[in-house]
Amino acid sequence: MDDPTDRPARLLREAGLRVTQQRLAILAALEEAEDHPVAEDLLARVRSADETVSTATIYRTLGALEAAGLVHRLSFGGEPARFEMAPRIQHDHLVDVDTGEVIEIQSDALAALRRQIAAEHGYDIVEHRTVIRGKRV
């Protein structure tokens, strides 16, 4: 079985990226995140374990991790970008317009409807990003 403490290092190696303490700390913080943190949130979380991590390191590393396909950048309108580990299962996001809370949703019905609509236009879906913005009632 895969050692969860070695997973960030393995992901970096498989992506062809150098394994550094700072990259490991950033990946570990993203893997542990139960939310979709902005870069500043990640900086605070990583600095609690490694005070040498700078704002520039966070942004540079997030760019490299995104380019390698390990991390997804989520943009919701004019809000700061949020980040998540590249999902193993495609999902959509529901954003509360009042609080900014981001909720992951997985819906077989929505996935089937997406495939149906794409097929009606002669396409297969390669990737999708659905963001639903709503207000709690």
Query: Any idea where the domains of the chain sit in the sequence?
Result: 7-85, 92-134
Q: Give me the residue label for tokens 């879906």.
A: 125
pTM (two decimals): 0.73
- pLDDT value of residue 97: 86
pLDDT(4) > 80: no
Sheet arrangement for strand 102-105:
102-105, 92-96, 131-134
Q: How does pLDDT run across 113-124, given as a tens digit for each residue?
A: 989 999 999 999
Indicate the fold that domain 7-85 takes in CATH: Arc Repressor Mutant, subunit A (1.10.10)
Cβ–Cβ under 8 Å, residues 47 and 41: no
Q: How does pLDDT run across 51-107, given as a tens digit for each residue?
A: 889 999 999 999 999 999 899 898 877 788 989 888 767 788 888 888 888 888 888
CA nearest to 123, candidates 114, 132, 131: 114
The highest-level CATH class for domain 92-134 is alpha beta
- pLDDT value of residue 3: 59
R_g of the chain computed on alpha carbons: 17
Beta-sheet pairing, 92-96 with 102-105: antiparallel
DSSP 99: T
CA distances from 50 to 53, 65, 76 (A): 6, 19, 29
